[in-house]
A and B are shown apart, each in its own frame.
Chain A
């Protein structure tokens, strides 16, 4: 394509630049677009907690990490353990280019999240990230326990498909449930999980899910917080959960909106949902601050059984 263009001066200069294939520009229409369509989804799993996402941003104080260069990745050059690279989120400010714009939001949100932050990495378009952020806000403002009031009197879908839908009969209409994902960590296990609290209707069911997740060795458990209604009615619990009755080495605790750690099970379920931020399966020996409630509960239960 280059070089030997016969003809006038125009063709001579033209030949060094090739007029390339007619590539469709749109990202969706063509299966082989010339450019990337990398996009970002952010934090659906942060759930619909009002202000949960925003609190993250505030607490990080809007700091942005500096751009990490090859120099920051000795692991890349020396093939040593690469784990250092992921934790090197620097707090010093050296933002390359200023001013917020829709595209910049991607990095500010990323930085706010607190995990390893490199500008423009992973390579996901700011557009997708922003649309996910908007989704978060929509879910948050509507509240995660929204009872949608509906006055329609026609037959509901629920009655048609009771087997699948389960317990959501309400004014003859489907009550759409938003998910409420919270993190769950267990002492001694470095990697946590997430569970959809709105997919459970009681402490018993939640504890059962968590036991399946953390206390069983096989991996044949439900995906964390699977919220598909087709899974239907929760199986009947035949025995009280170990996590709740204090008979195991672990207790289930949660952090509430004020930052206090509380024992799970003391307040009504709905109230719990409105104040829980995250869960922790704590070693009983460590639950000293909560011990009084724990002992009280144990005494209550023992006296029940007597």
Chain B
């Protein structure tokens, strides 16, 4: 349904109420609305009139909760009685970088208890940055007989024992997706817990884990799960074992290899090459730990239809990458390490005209003493060859305003622009000026920009630009930037669609914090750490805005009046009761 149609319906609210019995039985309305997938559309629908609100809530099967503390599980269950799939996000994003205390919260268990009572037919649970224990995983495994899909991303608190419980009890499991978690990897025996009769698995991702698994069990599992389309192995799986798995699973669409480095004879190499090329549906390839130039050619034939290639665990040199990319004409997403250097990125520009997303990670971010990595030249080269580029994450050690201006001129469709100049506060290395004009060019040119991460030496001017031009910006990440409160005020005063603002180590204080009072209610959250905000400022904010939770995390030895880390978010559940002692709720 188009939003414009819904707006027209909104106008006829009264006629809707009176005419409803004759024109639209509830069941029909529900049936129609059940086809709606987008949550933004569903929100709009629920505001039309009471009937539509009810029809929407009865027909919704998936709920997305971007901040687990914005609402309580009881409220969710009361509003949506028929949920079968839940997506929950917990901790603030900066917890990925160790800025959030260990026991901060976001524990899933309270949610599971409510779900077990209200949604016994729950099928899917997708969690990001939540705390989840083995006990919770066991509880999950036995409480929901229809449970099908579990996805854990950047969570912590559990071990492989929890996975064993899932494998043992979830008879209808189709998806087990364990990604980048702080998991306690005790051993690989969990994989052997899948019963012999179990055949429904479609997605299996255990690349996160390091310990050896029982390969025999894995081979049998893959052999009997004929619908498997995503298989991402961990490092313990060798090339030879990979070949054996692939022979029985040519239908795979996404493959994450194990260690891509092993002595092979010619025949073994050819068998591997053949097995890989037989995966005609393969569009995503990852893993490739320790991949070296010798064996990459085995992939060439398999790369013909590849749209996503994740080389971020393979420290390739530029020549190796160039040769590989010559075989990947359909590539849309590419993740690499900066060992490929600018020359490697030139090859990207030459070989991947359809590229939409590029991420370049630093292989050695802490070593400043040597020449390495990528520079502005590589980024510029990609922009010339890949006009469709709209998502970039780029870690580098030097950048210029002119280069960024060129880049966005070549690629005006950026939706996600995340540039990390790794030395905090570093200016344009050629002109020695701040990088204001670079980000000014980005926000002026890229009208579709939704997400922006800034870096380098930045004055308030950058934020003036952002506030003025970034009309579609939803997420902004700022570090070591700005000169005064004015910068933050510009952002809060502009950016109509801002939802998440995260700031660290900037000279923004109470005046800036308090200039966003109304704004925060339309945002999901605000994070400010190591800025100039005081406890009094936070108290004032909490007092003025009852629908906001204002949480302060104090550090040992800091001044009593300083608010070291502030996390502000809107909530209809009130202040949370599970905060640890280091987190003060105001």
Contacts and interface: CB of A to CB of B under 8 A. Distances in A.
Interface of A: 1-2, 4-8, 10-11, 13-23, 25-28, 31-32, 34-46, 67-70, 73, 75-77, 79, 82, 85-86, 94-97, 99, 101-104, 106-107, 109-110, 113, 115-128, 131-132, 134-135, 148, 150, 152, 154-157, 159-160, 165, 172-176, 183, 185, 191-194, 223-224, 226-231
Contacts of A44: 315, 339, 363-364
Contacts of A227: 292-293, 317
Contacts of B453: 123
Contacts of B153: 25-27
Contacts of B505: 68-70, 73, 118
Given A44-B315, A228-B320, A35 B93 contact: yes
B423 A191 contact: no
B371 A96 contact: no
Contacts of A193: 370-371
B177 A26 contact: yes
Given A32-B416, A115-B366, A121-B479, A39 B79 contact: no
Contact of A67 (B317, B337, B530, B572): B530
B269 A86 contact: no
A230 B506 CA distance: 48
Interface in B278-318: 284, 286, 289-290, 292-294, 308, 310, 312-313, 315, 317-318
A120 B425 contact: no
Interface of B: 13, 37-40, 42-44, 46-50, 53, 62-64, 66, 70-71, 78-79, 87, 89, 93-99, 101-102, 126-129, 151, 153-154, 156, 177, 179-184, 208, 210, 235, 261-267, 269, 284, 286, 289-290, 292-294, 308, 310, 312-313, 315, 317-320, 323, 332-333, 337, 339, 341, 343, 356-357, 359, 361-372, 391, 393, 395, 415-416, 418, 420, 422-427, 434, 450, 453, 457-459, 477, 479-483, 504-507, 521-522, 524, 530-532, 547, 555-557, 564, 570-572, 582
A73 B96 contact: no
8 contacts: A75-B457, A76-B457, A76-B480, A103-B182, A125-B97, A131-B313, A183-B370, A230-B319
Contact of B361 (A31, A41, A106, A174): A41
Contacts of A75: 425, 457
Given A70-B531, A115-B366, A131-B313, 8 more contacts: A6-B49, A31-B308, A82-B427, A119-B98, A124-B97, A128-B361, A150-B263, A192-B371
Contacts of B95: 103
B457 A70 contact: no
A85 B423 contact: yes
A14 B54 CA distance: 13
B263 A176 contact: yes
B572 A122 contact: no
Most chain A CB atoms below 10 A, which of B95, B177, B180, B477: B180
B265 A31 contact: no
Nearest to B531: A70
B180 A25 contact: no
Contacts of B42: 19
B312 A39 contact: yes
Contacts of A2: 521-522
B43 A19 contact: yes
Given A35-B128, A86-B423, A101-B156, A119 B365 contact: no
B479 A123 contact: yes
A122 B427 contact: no
A124 B521 contact: no
Contact of A223 (B97, B98, B341): B341
Contacts of A69: 505, 530-531
A173 B265 contact: yes
Given A22-B37, A26-B151, A125 B180 contact: yes
Nearest to A148: B263
A43 B98 contact: no
Contacts of B450: 32
B424 A134 contact: no
Nearest to A150: B263
A214 B200 CA distance: 60
Given A26-B177, A36-B96, A123-B479, A154 B102 contact: no
B426 A82 contact: yes
A120 B99 contact: yes
B551 to A, nearest CB: 15
Given A67-B530, A119-B98, A86 B424 contact: yes
A77 B483 contact: yes
A17 B50 CA distance: 17
Contacts of A19: 39, 42-43, 63-64
B40 A20 contact: yes
A110 B370 CA distance: 16
Contacts of A99: 102
B369 A192 contact: yes
A45 B292 contact: no
A223 B156 contact: no
B179 A27 contact: yes
B198 to A, nearest CB: 23
A67 B557 CA distance: 12
Contacts of A154: 265-267
Contact of B181 (A1, A4, A127, A172): A127
A159 B98 CA distance: 51
B370 A45 contact: yes
Contact of B208 (A8, A70, A127, A226): A127
A2 to B, nearest CB: 7
Contacts of B365: 40-42, 110, 122, 124
B50 A7 contact: yes
B156 A21 contact: no
A16 B75 CA distance: 14
B78 A10 contact: yes
Contacts of B235: 134
Contacts of B315: 41, 44
B87 A82 contact: no
A231 B293 CA distance: 10
Contacts of B313: 41, 131, 135
7 residue pairs, one from A and one from B, having the closest CB atoms: A120-B97, A7-B50, A127-B180, A113-B366, A69-B530, A41-B363, A25-B126
A45 B338 CA distance: 12
B547 A16 contact: yes
A108 to B, nearest CB: 10
A76 B93 contact: no
Q: Taking each of B62, B265, B393, which has the highest tally of chain A beta carbons within 10 Å of its own beta carbon?
A: B265
Contacts of B458: 76
Nearest to B182: A102
Contact of A115 (B332, B369, B480): B369
B38 A21 contact: yes
A1 B99 CA distance: 32
Give the most central of A10, A82, A132, A160: most B CB within 10 Å: A82
B47 A1 contact: yes
B522 A135 contact: no
B263 A173 contact: yes
Given A69-B505, A113-B366, A38 B62 contact: no
B370 A67 contact: no
B102 A101 contact: yes
Contact of A119 (B99, B128, B312): B99
Contacts of B481: 76
Centre residue among B63, B416, B505 by max chain A CB count within 10 A: B505
A38 B369 contact: no
A125 B393 CA distance: 13
B395 A174 contact: no
Contacts of A228: 293, 317, 319-320
B294 A176 contact: yes
